[in-house]
Amino acid sequence: MRKEQFVCPYEVYDTMEELPQQDAELMRRAHEAARNAYAPYSKFNVGAALRLANGAIVLGNNVENAAYPSGLCAERVAMFAAMAQYPGVPFEALAVTAWSASKSIEEPVAPCGACRQVMVEVEQVSKQPLRVLCQGDTGPIMVFDGVESLMPFIFLDKFL
């Protein structure tokens, strides 16, 4: 028997001003996108902004439904919209944020497991690391340079 460990490296920026300019712009767009969330049930409004290799920025917000599982997270809305609107264009970076009218969200919002599963596959298709930036409504920004470190022991197409 041996013990092993999984390492998840990431950067933390205390303010938006500290971020590289392109990242700060992307996070600003994610904050804009969160304003369009349709989240009448959770009231947790998530925004995502995805930058593609052709410079396009595709926005996503969570869209809920009275039949709860029919809704979708902001990240997947953005990633799937980009695959529909810009087929074959690699993804570069994805910024995620959230706000709520009832409480302040000061910790970075961590993407759910289903979104991470999709991120890993789109990263493979893109053939380049997908930079992921996470922030609350305010507060520090966590930056992951590639999504493999966000999703240990992922299910991959090689198992099929």
> Residue count at the site for ligand THU (CB under 6 A)?
13
Q: Indicate whether 78 belongs to the interface with ligand THU (CB under 6 A).
A: no
- Beta carbons of 37 and 87 less than 8 angstroms apart: no
Interface with ligand THU in residues 4-63 (CB under 6 A): 39, 42, 44, 46, 62
Listed in order, strand segments (DSSP E) in the chain are 11-13, 45-52, 57-61, 91-99, 131-135, 141-145
Q: Indicate whether 97 belongs to the interface with ligand THU (CB under 6 A).
A: no
Q: Indicate whether 142 belongs to the interface with ligand THU (CB under 6 A).
A: no
β partners of residue 133: 95, 143
Catalytic site residue from 11, 25, 75, 123: 75
> Which of 13, 49, 75, 137 is the binder for ligand THU (CB under 6 A)?
75
Q: Is the dihedral of CA 144, 150, 153, 157 positive or negative?
A: negative
Closest-CA residue to 19 (of 31, 36, 33): 31
Any catalytic annotation for residue 17?
A: no
What's at 76, amino acid-wise?
Answer: R
Q: Would you tell me which residues interact with ligand THU (CB under 6 A)?
A: 39, 42, 44, 46, 62, 64, 71, 73-75, 111-112, 115
Residues assigned a catalytic role: 75
